[in-house]
Amino acid sequence: MAGRGRRKQNLTLEEQLNRTEEEIGELELKMEELRQRKEEIEDQIAGQTKEALYQAAMQSGKSMEEILAMLTEEEGI
């Protein structure tokens, strides 16, 4: 018995164009979902960084004003 591969579909150019446009639309939606997911992850990372900084500041025993003063001195602000 001869191997039965997928039967080729003979699509018109219009059908090919429609399928391609549908694929593009699906990929654009996927890209938007991924961009939103990336933004959420970046926000979570920023939140963790802020929390770590806050915890370090609290453990230092210095007030926020003292810490800000030290940082502005170092930066020359």
- 13-59 tens-digit pLDDT: 999 999 999 999 999 999 999 999 999 999 999 999 999 999 999 99
Sign for the CA dihedral angle at 7, 5, 24, 36 comes to positive
Q: How far is CA 76 from CA 27, 58, 66, 68, in A?
A: 48, 24, 15, 12
Provide mean pLDDT across the span 65-75: 87
In the prediction, which pLDDT does 2 show?
A: 56
What is the reported pTM?
Answer: 0.64
**6 has a pLDDT exceeding 90:** no
Sign for the CA dihedral angle at 27, 33, 36, 37 comes to negative
